[in-house]
Structure 1
Amino acid sequence: MHDEYELEVVKMKQDLSSEQMLSVIFEYTAKIANERILDNVLILMANMGREMVVADRCSVWLIDERTEELFTTVAHGVKEIRIPLNSGLVGMSISSGEAIFIDDAYTNVPYRDVLLSGAIAVDKRTGYHTKALMVVPFRNNEGRIIGAYQAINKLTEAEVFSNKDLEYLKLAASYSGKSIESVMLQQEIEETQKEIIFTMGEIGESRSKETGNHVKRVAEYSYILALGMGISQEDAEKLKLASPMHDIGKVAIPDAVLKKPGKLTDEEYDVMKTHTTIGYNLLKNSRRELLKIAAVVASQHHEKWNGRGYPNGLKGEEIHVYGRITAIADVFDALGSERVYKKAWELDRILNLFKEERGQHFDPKVVDAFFEQLPAILKIRDAYQDAIPEASA
């Protein structure tokens, strides 16, 4: 009779969509950010990793420098485990600083000896069957390796982890190392949150017709405009960090609408406009200040000074200043960027439009700041140019 380690018969699952991935990340990072008990953080970390890569089990291993051991208080299906510092796949990964990626533990040649004395030996005792494995080391804020993630058995029909899974686990590992140290030392984890916000902003843009440089430029433009309007450097920096999330709601827009090369129908345009409320709803419940700001930007960057924007028809100063700033930064970049479906507008044409839309689409004060800061804005545009896309055949 098998004990608590016995593998249950599990129905095959599907890889997460971009929207589901975002929901998982936002849910767990919000919980982790407010947790100060190490064991609880490790549980959240393991659960986050398992959901992100659709694994059966996920372990978060830490180095105990005092005893020169590796230990995990959270390994799905098992209790605390302690092993010598350099033993097993986890020890090898931590020692080398490199990820380990195995499709089938029973046929793998390079790590056969380690597997025979580790995972396969445990399988014989427990009745579990280990197939696919990933191990990814993580580092603290100083770049020193302090532990590793280990994911076991992919629960999709493929039954093996993909390179994308490896990247997702690396993202989780990057957050984990810094967060665990933060909990242990009672330090903030803002830097990692900033990285995740920017990465998620790029994911949102990658589904549409924009490029990663679009979010970089909009972030920099927003920062310059905020300073130009007399906003403090601290608050301008917050806007710069939050603005990459302005179009995050696009992850839930159907490809047929999002990637349509021609003009949208009225019905399709109504669907496209929902990206503002979707983005807001993804972010609004976070207790973290940056994500609260990102929620405002996602919701309001298509509002217009004259009240004819969307989704709520806000007017004038009813629109948060962060939304008013991001609006002009986003439009300037969109019009000035070449895409496979359109040519970039000439600078004079964009400037004339902004003059015409001063007090209509855009806050007059933001437009004035834009023209005052134009040399710095053009410098940013030149520094983050896109590669010109090739037209499809």
Structure 2
Amino acid sequence: MPNERRDNAGTSGPRQEHTPEQLLRIIFEYTAKIAHERSLDSVLLLMADMGREMILADRCTVWLIDQTRGELFTKVAHGVEHIRIPLGSGFVGHAITAGEPLLVEDAYADPRHNADNDRKTGYHTKSVITVPFVGSDGSIIGAYQAINKQTEDAQFTSADLERLVLAASYAGKSLESVMLHEEIAATQRDIIFAIGEIGENRSKETGNHVKRVAEYSYILAKGYGLSEEEAEQLKIASPMHDIGKIAIPDAVLLKPGKLSEAEYELMKEHTEIGYTLLRTSGRALLNIAATIAYQHHEKWDGTGYPRGLRGEEIHLYGRITAIADVFDALASDRVYKKAWELGRILALFQEERGRHFDPQLVDVFFQSLPTILDIRDRYND
């Protein structure tokens, strides 16, 4: 079975059953933590820890349903890739299909046991409890599964089943809320990316351009020291940097040769157009996108546009996206030019350190170059 949340279980001998006071403390501590989490991964790990501790199991897994693929999946601890099994497979599949909790004293004596993971890991599943999670509309969204009791008799009891049902009741609503939040966030990300592609497609760029700029921005943000959450927000918002191009005439946007002075002034308007389109939203991601659209053509020395901002007057998001966007523009074929060789690009970045670009971010760019080049090759047009 999956090796989700084992920690130090199974290394200190048999354990004693919890007193009612200890059980209440576990419930209150974990439900408080779960209620304040917005990350699905974190909620799943807390729920697994809560279930394992409540009934003294060796391992506890939280399974979710992927209706699209007809599978059950669980995200496991310590960065290991998640596990997927067919929807009706094993004890967990049976409990979800039947919509009823399941207590099995001897897994290998039960034909429903899926021993594939035991064979892969060398782990031996003995007793199992599985409890479905029910959503607010009455539909089943997943299940708890606890494996191998850690008391001296090594057997789960009906009291353990009741406790895991209680844990599922406490944590299930929070799980559903976080899943809904992540679904909304994923939809928002998809919409932002799709709109970003519209702006690039008007200028004959491929969708890979916005993917690369997003990935470069994330790497630069992390290298600069931003948190995972902030770097991820920048990655999601950066595809909107050129959305203002939707309002630039084709005669200017698609011109293969050098733009006239008047055409260049018209092209520059895409920054203010993009900002105007995005700035009125109350959503944090779109506010970030508005800032990026407005400032990604500003330059460190104050010679950029549209406002001629200088140094740290330019928002960090704009400074990061500027490097990501310029690198991709130079490293890719465009309607008006062929891609530059890498050596020429790197020489330009050294030359523009402290002029076009934030010097510290240029240093981060060079430190992150192997990862950036890997992204370029992975999303090559």
TM-score normalised by structure 2 residue count: 0.53
Matching residue of 2:255:
260
Q: For the residues of structure 2 that align with 1:314 and 1:346, how far apart are their CA atoms?
A: 30
Q: For the residues of structure 1 that align with 2:334 and 2:311, how far apart are their CA atoms?
A: 32
Give the RMSD, CA atoms, in angstroms: 2.3
Matching residue of 1:291:
286
Matching residue of 1:37:
none
CA displacement at 1:187 relative to structure 2: 7.9
Judging changes above 3 Å, is the alpha-carbon distance between structure 1 residues 349 and 186 closer, same or farther for their aligned structure 2 residues? Answer: closer
Judging changes above 3 Å, is the alpha-carbon distance between structure 1 residues 187 and 245 closer, same or farther for their aligned structure 2 residues? Answer: closer
Aligned residues: 209
Does residue 382 (structure 1) correspond to residue 377 (structure 2)? The answer is yes
Conserved 8 A contact 2:196-2:241: yes
Q: Deviations over 1:313-357 (max 9, x none)?
A: 000000000000000000000001013431110000000000000
- Give the one of 316, 323, 327 matched to 2:318: 323
Matching residue of 2:298:
303
Conserved 8 A contact 2:203-2:254: yes
Matching residue of 2:344:
349
Judging changes above 3 Å, is the alpha-carbon distance between structure 1 residues 234 and 261 closer, same or farther for their aligned structure 2 residues? Answer: same
Q: For the residues of structure 2 that align with 1:293 and 1:332, how far apart are their CA atoms?
A: 21
CA displacement at 1:274 relative to structure 2: 0.2
Larger Rg: 2
Q: How does 1:25-104 map to 2 (within 5 A)?
A: none
Matching residue of 2:362:
367
Q: 1:272 corresponds to which letter in structure 2?
A: M
Q: Deviations over 1:234-288 (max 9, x none)?
A: 0000000000000000000001100111100000000000000000000000000
Q: For the residues of structure 1 that align with 2:338 and 2:199, how far apart are their CA atoms?
A: 22
Q: Which runs of 4+ in 1 moved over 6 A?
A: 185-188
Q: How does 1:1-393 map to 2 (within 5 A)?
A: 189-386=184-381
Identity %: 73
Q: 1:317 corresponds to which letter in structure 2?
A: E
TM-score normalised by structure 1 residue count: 0.51
CA displacement at 1:209 relative to structure 2: 3.1
Conserved 8 A contact 2:333-2:339: yes
Matching residue of 1:162:
none
For structure 2, list consecutive stretches of 5 or more residues without a partner in the other structure: 1-138, 142-175
Q: For the residues of structure 1 that align with 2:310 and 2:350, how far apart are their CA atoms?
A: 19
Question: SS state of the match for residue 212, structure 2?
Answer: helix
Question: SS state of the match for residue 189, structure 1?
Answer: helix
Q: For the residues of structure 2 that align with 1:200 and 1:255, how far apart are their CA atoms?
A: 18
Q: 1:316 corresponds to which letter in structure 2?
A: G
Q: For the residues of structure 2 that align with 1:257 and 1:341, how far apart are their CA atoms?
A: 12
Q: For the residues of structure 2 that align with 1:200 and 1:187, how far apart are their CA atoms?
A: 20
Conserved 8 A contact 2:274-2:294: yes
Question: SS state of the match for residue 261, structure 1?
Answer: coil
